[in-house]
Amino acid sequence: MPAPQRIRIATRESKLALAQTHMVAGALRARDPRWQVDIVGMTTKGDRVLDRPLAQVGGKGLFVKELEVAMDEGRADIAVHSLKDVPMEVAPRFALATFGERELPLDAFVSERHASLEAMPAGALVGTSSLRRECQLRRAFPQLRFAALRGNVNTRLAKLAAGEYDAIILAAAGLRRLGLGDRIRATLPESLALPAIGQGILAIEFPAARTDLAAALQGFELRAVSAAARAERALGLVVEGSCEVPVAAYARPVGDSLEMEALVGLPEGSRVVRQGARGSLAEAERLGRELGERLLAAGGREILRELAARKA
């Protein structure tokens, strides 16, 4: 099949989503100046519903559904996502490809008054949008208070500046891609806050039948980044990774291998199971699946049962 002449990119219209999409568009134009690359902006339900935590209104799929509809209807050819926002299960009619290097995958501590979580006084309020973060940080800092924080990066920073929170936790990757790296007071080490599945990785979603797009995107996929993404998402499928379950996983490339850690816990941090493993880049999915099964066997299955009982 001949190379595409035009590539229309569907994207959310938040500043971060647009910044990431312009990165992708620029790279595509630089690779082949003959390609006409257009950006199709849209607002997703996840951007509109801001008064409730994601886990209560449909989870990660709220950020991708409208973009998939645009591809189904022929209004767009590909969609740019932060991989951490993509549900573990993608419809078979779509495919995913990682794009470029992985940005710093750690979480960032942002505050106008405090230098770190350790320096915050008892009772201080921390804003976070993630049960994964809340689970780990409540366990480490039981003296602090945590509250839901929704909205795009700039909205969250504005809420911090307005004094609604004493500190907020954001993905370092998003801040750096927006040129706001100087707002990071500290990055949280993996030992304290294991990242979300796919955090820091850009993903391109496209119709699986479009072999021309698959060929065009192949040159932007890096073997180590792709392997890490596959390992983490394979674990997510085993451990039911979603906004409703506090799951974290990080696969770090080391030569031709991946060193991987993962955890699952209760939102309040009263119970957390954490495991690690190492495997080859070539068997990334197998590594993720096996680590996921080990996590469940070590107590994760009981945690999932308790979470399910709480929802019932």
- Positions annotated as catalytic residues are 85
Six-digit token pair at 219?
């040159």
Residues 203, 97: contact at Cβ < 8 Å?
A: yes
Rounded Cα gap, residues 276 and 262, in angstroms:
6
Closest CA to 275 of 293, 257, 258: 293
Q: Which helix (H) or strand (E) holds 233?
A: helix 223-238
Amino acid, single-letter form, for residue 245: V
Q: Which residue has the tokens 């366990």?
A: 139
Could you list the beta-strand ranges (E) of 174-242.
186-188, 202-207
Closest CA to 123 of 175, 160, 167, 177: 167
Residues 266, 273: contact at Cβ < 8 Å?
A: no
